[in-house]
Chain A
Amino acid sequence: MENVQEVKVREIMTVRTAKIRHEASLHQAAELLALTRVSDLMVVDGEDNFFGVLSEGDILRSALPDVDEILAEGGSLETAFDIFVKKGKNLSELPITPLVIREPISVDPEDHVAKATTVLLEKQIHLLPVVKDGKLVGTVSRADVCGAVVGTI
């Protein structure tokens, strides 16, 4: 047990993380989300400087039609579904920037895992960026913590 208090974020973080460049389009982002199966993409610039987080929830939300749009197009579920598909297609041309969360909560690789865990739970975050001197060095998910602290990985 003597090493328990020394569990650092850098020891459990995932280094191979799903990243996207900040000038990318939503189409690229969507493809990457589908490929990697993560909930959030880390957004960086050309030199791996951390830029922000893009979440799949925010993308999907902007594709869902609101009630006025549905009513304007006929009001049936069918039309609503059609609009969703149409809006989704239209989105793909747009840049990701408006949907990126700038200055999100992040952790330092030297932070204790308990600190990361507290913020993951309290702020309902799925994937926490690990940032050192402005550069993205990895991510920590709840699963990462479970595996390392409760499990034996």
Chain B
Amino acid sequence: MTAQETVVSQPRAGGVLRIKEGSQAGATFPLSEEPVIIGREQGVAILLDDEESSRRHAQISWEVGQFIITDMGSTNGTFVNGTKIAAPHMLRPDDEIMVGKTTLVFQVTETPVTFAVEAPATEAPATEPAETEEFVAEAPQAEAPKAEAPAPAGDVIPSRLVLSTAEETNQRLGHENLGFLSDSHGFMPIRPPRLELPPAYQAWDVMVERLPELYRTLTLRQTFDEMPELSAASSDLPDEYLLRASALLSIFAHAYYRVEPDPPAAIPDCIQRPRAEVTRRLGRPGPVLSYIDLIVYNWKLIDPNRDDPVRVENMRLLIPTVDNVVERIFYLGQVEILSQLNPIIGAVVRAQEAAHQNDVEALKVELRIVTDSLHNATYDSLMKIKLNPHSGPYFVDPVVWAKAVGPLAVSYEEGVPGPSGIASPIFHLLDEFFGRRTYDTKLGHEMTFVRDWYPQHWKDFLEAVGQVSVPDYVANHRNKTLKGIFQETRQAYMADTGFLGRHRLKVYGYLETAFKVGRSVTIGSFSGKFKDRAWNEVATQLDNSRAERQSGFPQFSHYANVKQVNTTRAEGDEWVKQVVLDVAGTGIRYQPGDRCAILPENAGGLVEKTLHALRARGNEPIRLNAEWREAVGLREGYEATETLPLRTLLTFGRIRPVDRPVAKALHSISHNETLGRIIEARAEDQWELWDLLGVLNEAGFDPKRLWKAHPGERESMCWIVPPESFRMYSISSVMKDGQLEGASEIRLTIGRLRYQTSETDVSTPSQRLGTASNFLGDTSTVSPEDMGRVSLRAVHPPRFSLPQDERSPIVMFAGGTGIAPFLSFIHARAQQEDAGESWLFYATRTRADFYFQEELEQIASKGRLHVRPAFSRDDVDTKFESNGDGAHFVFEPGQKRYIGDEMLREENAGLLWDLLRSKEEGGQGAYFYVCGRTGFAVAVADGIQAVMRRFSEGSEQEKERAAKEMLHRLVGEDRYMQDIFTTYTGSQMQQQQTYDASEVALHNDEGNGYWMIVSGRVYDLTEFAHMHPGGLKIIHEYTGMDATDAYQKILHHVNPEVDSMLGMYEIGAIRRLDLGMEWGVAVGPDGLQVITLADAFRLWMRFLHFVVELENSLRNDFSILQEPTTRDEAPTSRSPFKTQLVLQSYQRFAKQYVADLMGESLETLWAITSGLCAQDEDVRWIRQEVAAIQQSEEAQTVERLTDNLAGLLETVVQQNADPADPAVSPLGAYCDLLEVEDKRFMHEMKLALRAGVQVFEELERETISQGGDRLLNACRAIPGVLKAYYARVISGVQALDK
């Protein structure tokens, strides 16, 4: 069916409701376009004599050609065909509506004349009540063939109607001004954007060319002031040029406004008047720089004949402003994403049709299309906007973005939406499709607001998609595969690893840096300054919005049986097993490199031991809290469970090792001293719940309290035993391509996790087991058949998949069971026709640990796979030889080797060097994969660098640097990928090396390296910063300080991919100070106030970290000087535009940072320090001291200097000169001076605060008694840092002026 063949008109309304059952059986009520209400209140149109009906129970309205029933918040709910409706529901003929005890049947009286096709009679839906009806999962073939049959009349769903209308209208009109919307191009234009306007508008097209230059020289406003005014009336400018005119004029207006920090008096008439006309002609509520102007209609193809041409690398911006690489990639990346999602538009409509026609197979196909498109956009297109500086042409520097690109689009008028990410129609479409119910969060409001400004077809389409609920259809259906496939689609959109989750991380990465380098507004209307930590607000809002999307939809998990457990190797207590899960019919899909997330259960023995320690029988009912209710919904048979028997709770909960929050909760209710010492030593993870309870019990604690407590209480079982979370396993099997139904099985390779706790005063020696590995592999106590159903999901890591070009060679490094994901790689490559060579470096202890030897031999004997085993405990060399019965590994007496030794063997080193270098460097450009424990990953990375050093040229130092840079590039180009096991690294008390916070604070620059504290551990991230997918600058933001909050804010701590990698860089733990219960009093805002020594230490630390964070931000802030900001600009050039950006940094430093540091926080620090250390100090002293410095002649002089810089810049611009030329102006020299001195001020502030922190670290609980004077002096010295700063700037200026 195509739009051209049909006559489109609005269908007329005509329907009837007949009461089938109830006291009024037989009564009929006609329906028309007027909304009617059903209820028992006098005056409603359909008045029921039914006590169980609410007064105003439900409403039926006529919307976009369909009758829609909506529940009006009735007490007992409204049911359609036996299902309670949660959202407005579209009525179909013979639908049975139940209100109270009354059943009403809906019928169409008059066939709407939408399409000139008769409805086939065979399509009549079943009329049985839903309780007895089972949807036919596999549609009987005898029915009318669906593929060619046009949608029956009256069955045309609203989204199809709008889509067809849009396609037809756009074609008839010859332009797409009413909104891009088609099956073929989705939300993208069918005709590529116009490259130019008619000749009469050359003045505008010329300006487009000149924008970057006008930006660079800051002559944009004066040039536009002289642009001639042209008419945009329909008599002059044809409709088909309207969108280009709109994009161009809107960008002009914003560029004019945003090019300089001070707003202009007005936008000149030559822009404003035609823009108003264009706005009117497009039917927009007002002038706006829309998402269409900035993104959807702002690209041209470099090579239109290329396959799949709408890709970042094949496009240019039509109307660039600064035209730097950041602007290009950032905007074109969004174009590519939208284009990759094109198939979703048609698929959504067809999916709704399939649901409407009860065609399960068709629905599955369409859901798969939506999923695949989302995966393409998430895994490929979204990844192209890169924050890693070593990723070559796709690097989008967050600082350049924040200063030179981002501000343009920010709306400058109240009540006008900006073209932020949430203005992309795809979010709106998917929200409607998945039945998002509320838009009450800040971002939710923003979305509804943006939508009012959309073109007509978009608005109509989104509304129409909301009319049909595929989620409801799926929820009421019994086909499990359909449910599974639907959930896979939802996950692809909403999960942390899905489109929204990845998008959120990216947004956070940019906005955080942006705010810190001084951007104070965003397109999405966030604003804020450094001290307010506005970036956290953004993250919170993104989180809220995500929660809002998910509300009403329970968490999802697939369920599978364990089909088989094969022991690959067993020796004593240790084993490696292959676990095969039967996932047929679940709809789950995966690709090589993906992981399987498993929800583990605790072994019966451990549960019984814990019950014993709790003095419980196991059948005690435990009422669940919200966290548990949600978690237990992921277990088959426990959906919507409110109460669990204690035994089941312990089976599903985390009872080993003991978590820190749990240890603290137990301590707060038991006051147990041993436990206190355990917590102090951070040794809680040496314990399991049962044996820790034993310790408490001995000291008189009654464990029954825990399971008797109410769910809200701190000691409730729900708190003490938190629900277990998913554990990740690499998948070893390969799924057959193109299976609609999904995979049939998943093979996992699992090694038993065991570790030994040691005998210390806070732990006891014991053998401990990992929960998850034992759950799946422990067949000694439970046979696979009795294991019950396993809850699982497939997870696609962003960076661990086979190269897109299968001809590329791959090199795999496996440590022990790290072979797991590579089995899938090897099998997948064996099935590919053109797969390049594959190399496997396989490190194990002995030949007996050489898992899957036969499997590897079979594949290797076909060539193309080359295995290099390295045995650390067997003195053998390995050869691969053919003999009579195929090829085999042959072991000969030789040497034992670690992985690094194997890599550096002569023949391997040369080979690796050839594989490592990119094709441009004359190498093979292979893809490298590492899987194993932390130590193994470190060894491989070291080996790689050793190879690089060996073949590099120059001095040792030069070789070292070349190797590092090469590794950074390898990672940046996504050619070096790691899958590191989250292994237990031992408790912090076993960490020998400890560091003081004052020492860490020094490690935040190139000279001293970059260190960071996360959850009490210290990491040296100097090297990792270059490999962080989120970029170098964001890591640098948090070095020298405690980054735990930021780390958790972006969920890194629950992301094993990141969390495990961090282990490679751990260097020790933070030393914990013993500050005892020392205390004193200080003069606080309300009078005398008790201050503990620990409070005072926290205050000093917080201040120190605040200064460190400012120091980091300032460095990023000034990094703009090393980046090109406009087209063809040399990186280090000092254009007027760039100079202006730097002037803003000085202003911010002088006005904001100095005030933040010398204000209230410093006064509090003084009040508390002087209160603890001296009785005779005036609490106001420091405020007076700072005020005196700020009013001094020196301070005033420096302030004038900063203010004068803008005037100097203006002079340079008028003379059209180079601001950095000393012959023209002292501007450049002043700038250099201020940059040096601003940075030095921040550094000295850090040292001043550090001096105070060191007193605590040295003297601990004796700080007051023995170090009071030192601490007081440290605080007293702080205002001097400001005084010295002013003095240095003045003498610097005097030296320059001579």
Contacts and interface: CB of A to CB of B under 8 A. Distances in A.
A118 B1088 contact: yes
B701 A123 contact: no
B1079 A119 contact: yes
Given A95-B700, A98-B699, A114-B1081, 13 more contacts: A66-B705, A68-B704, A68-B708, A97-B699, A98-B671, A98-B672, A98-B700, A101-B671, A102-B673, A114-B1088, A118-B1090, A122-B1089, A123-B1090
Contacts of A99: 700
Contacts of B1079: 105, 119
A66 B699 CA distance: 20
A3 to B, nearest CB: 16
A66 to B, nearest CB: 6
A85 interface: no
B1080 interface: yes
B702 to A, nearest CB: 9
Interface in B195-238: none
B1077 interface: yes
Nearest to A106: B1077
A74 interface: no
Given A98-B701, A102-B673, A66 B1081 contact: no
Interface in B666-718: 671-673, 699-701, 704-705, 708
A103 interface: yes
A101 B650 CA distance: 32
Contacts of B141: none
A95 B672 CA distance: 14
B73 to A, nearest CB: 37
Contacts of A102: 673
B1076 interface: yes
Those 9 A-B pairs whose CB atoms lie nearest each other, nearest first = A98-B700, A118-B1088, A118-B1081, A122-B1090, A68-B708, A115-B1081, A119-B1090, A98-B699, A103-B1077
Contacts of B1175: 112
Contacts of A66: 705, 708
B1076 A103 contact: yes
A94 interface: yes
A119 B1077 contact: no
Nearest to B676: A102
Nearest to A112: B1175
A136 B1090 CA distance: 22
B715 to A, nearest CB: 11
Interface string A93-136: 01101110111111000001011011100110000000000000
A150 B699 CA distance: 44
28 contacts: A68-B704, A68-B708, A95-B700, A97-B699, A98-B672, A98-B699, A98-B700, A98-B701, A99-B700, A101-B671, A103-B1076, A103-B1077, A104-B1077, A105-B1077, A106-B1077, A112-B1175, A114-B1081, A114-B1088, A115-B1080, A115-B1081, A117-B1088, A118-B1088, A119-B1079, A119-B1081, A119-B1090, A122-B1089, A122-B1090, A123-B1090
Contacts of A104: 1077
Contacts of B673: 102
B964 to A, nearest CB: 50
B396 to A, nearest CB: 52
Nearest to A103: B1077
A95 B673 CA distance: 15
Contacts of A97: 699
A68 B1089 CA distance: 42
A90 to B, nearest CB: 11
A149 to B, nearest CB: 14
Given A68-B708, A118-B1088, A94 B1081 contact: no
Interface in B1069-1093: 1076-1077, 1079-1081, 1088-1090
Nearest to B1171: A115
Nearest to A111: B1080
Nearest to B704: A68
A30 to B, nearest CB: 16
Contacts of B699: 97-98
A3 B720 CA distance: 55
Most buried by B among A95, A98, A114: A98
Contacts of A105: 1077, 1079
Nearest to A94: B700
A106 B673 CA distance: 19
A113 B241 CA distance: 85
B1074 to A, nearest CB: 11
A104 to B, nearest CB: 7
Contacts of A122: 1089-1090
Most buried by A among B672, B701, B1076, B1077: B1077
B1260 to A, nearest CB: 14
Nearest to B1088: A118
Interface in A5-62: none
B465 to A, nearest CB: 53
A102 B705 CA distance: 23
A72 B1079 CA distance: 46
Contacts of B1077: 103-106
Nearest to B1087: A118
Contacts of A106: 1077
Nearest to A100: B671
A112 B1081 CA distance: 10
A53 B1079 CA distance: 18
Nearest to B620: A68
Contacts of A101: 671
A122 B1086 CA distance: 12
Contacts of A103: 1076-1077
A63 to B, nearest CB: 12
Most buried by A among B672, B701, B1088, B1089: B1088
Interface in B697-745: 699-701, 704-705, 708
Contacts of B701: 98
A66 B1089 CA distance: 37
B1090 to A, nearest CB: 5
Contacts of B708: 66, 68
Nearest to B698: A98
A106 B1079 CA distance: 9
Contacts of A98: 671-672, 699-701
Contacts of A123: 1090
B798 to A, nearest CB: 48
B1182 to A, nearest CB: 22
Most buried by B among A101, A103, A112, A115: A115
A66 B702 CA distance: 12
A51 B775 CA distance: 47
Contacts of A119: 1079, 1081, 1090
Nearest to B702: A62
Contact of B1089 (A112, A117, A118): A118
A68 B708 CA distance: 7
A145 to B, nearest CB: 13
A123 B708 CA distance: 30
Nearest to B1080: A115
Nearest to B699: A98
A118 B1090 CA distance: 6
Contacts of A114: 1081, 1088
A26 B700 CA distance: 12
A105 B1076 CA distance: 10
A103 B1080 CA distance: 15
Nearest to A98: B700
Contacts of B672: 98
Interface string B128-141: 00000000000000
A34 B94 CA distance: 82
Nearest to A66: B708
A122 B1084 CA distance: 13
Most buried by B among A105, A112, A114, A118: A118
Contacts of B1076: 103
A140 B871 CA distance: 72
A94 B698 CA distance: 11
Nearest to A101: B671
